[in-house]
Amino acid sequence: MAAAANIAARPGWRPGPLPGFRPTLGFTLLYLSLVVLLPLAALVLKTAGLSWGAFWATVTSSRALAAYKLSFGGALLAGGINTVAGLLLSWVLVRYRFPGRDVVDAIIDLPLALPTAVAGIALTAIYAPTGAVGGFLERHGVQVAFTWVGVVLAMVFVGLPFAVRSVQPVLMELGPELEEAAAVLGASRLRTFSRVILPVLVPPLLTGFALAFARAVGEYGSIVFISGNMPNHTEIVPLLIVTKLEQFQYQQATALAVVMLAGSLVTLLAVNLLQAWNRRWTGHA
């Protein structure tokens, strides 16, 4: 709500010729305040009521530390996998023509539209030891479902669209001129890719990584089905928060939520900076 005062009070705004500035501003700020800002303020207020000792004890308990390690570590790994897969998929979709390309392009967005609970039970069905792929992997000594590998798999699933959709438009805009020039000047393919194409793709790749990471850290629905939810082993931070809520330990849940929110805010800030950098490089977000 500080935002509301900020926007209305500062003399800098220019309404422009089109009608609707005041009503859209009013409605946007009202709805934003009611649905988003007010509830988030409740979290801040509740946090302010925590004693520092209790807060610190909660957020540094061994169970919480294990959960951070899995949530943040798994999200880093999943973000890395998604960055590579995002580059591969967007490269293939932009540069090559093959039958079914449109379908593949559409399917990339499935994790955005598919409810996470459905994704969770579907991934478990495939990757549990009784499942099609899980059974095969089990025979080769790899257990996916109910271990940290399953957690990372679910994180890869939910983050994939962000990684692909960050790189794809930049790759599409990247005309052939640069590569032609590099080829004419005698650069090898490897050199052309690593010195001409990759530098342009670094900002969108990092943006995709950050978005996929942020999504994976907070993910709950798909992970709780595949992870097995063993405290200290396969328990993610969001699940720990839910557990605390179900035990009506709101103070502890709030403390853990604050740690997670701090993590997401840092990531959000990083994404915004990356996108500004991206715009400077490529001319669009």
Interaction between residue 170 and other proteins (CB under 8 A): no
In the complex, minimum distance from the CB of residue 241 to other proteins, in angstroms, rounded to a whole number: 5
- Name which of 269, 263, 278, 285 is nearest 76 in CA terms: 263
Return all residues near 255 (Cβ < 8 A) that are at least 6 apart.
Answer: 47, 50, 54, 55, 58, 59
Which range in 14-22, 56-64, 227-235 contacts other proteins by CB under 8 A? 14-22
Which of 118, 142, 172, 202 touches other proteins (CB under 8 A)?
A: 118
CB 158 within 8 A of CB 222: yes
Interaction between residue 202 and other proteins (CB under 8 A): no
Q: Which two tokens stand for residue 185?
A: 């000047």
- Looking at residues 83 to 112 of the shown chain, list those that interact with other proteins (rule: CB under 8 A): 84-85, 87-89, 91-93, 95-98, 102, 104-112
Which of 228, 268, 277, 281 touches other proteins (CB under 8 A)?
A: 268
Which range in 50-58, 59-67, 129-137, 227-235 contacts other proteins by CB under 8 A? 129-137
Cα separation of 157 and 98, whole Å?
Answer: 24
- Name which of 220, 207, 226 is nearest 273 in CA terms: 207
CB 184 within 8 A of CB 238: no
Sketch the per residue contact string, 203 through 242, with other proteins: x for CB under 8 A, - otherwise. Answer: -----------x--xxxxx---x-----------xxx-xx
* Residue 94 C-beta-side C-alpha neighbours within 13 Å: 19
Interaction between residue 270 and other proteins (CB under 8 A): no
> What's the farthest any 2 CA atoms get from each other in the chain?
69
Interaction between residue 169 and other proteins (CB under 8 A): no
Interaction between residue 55 and other proteins (CB under 8 A): no
The Cβ of residue 95 has, within 10 Å, a number of other Cβ atoms equal to 10
Which of 54, 57, 117, 202 touches other proteins (CB under 8 A)?
A: 117
Which of 75, 149, 153, 205 touches other proteins (CB under 8 A)?
A: 153
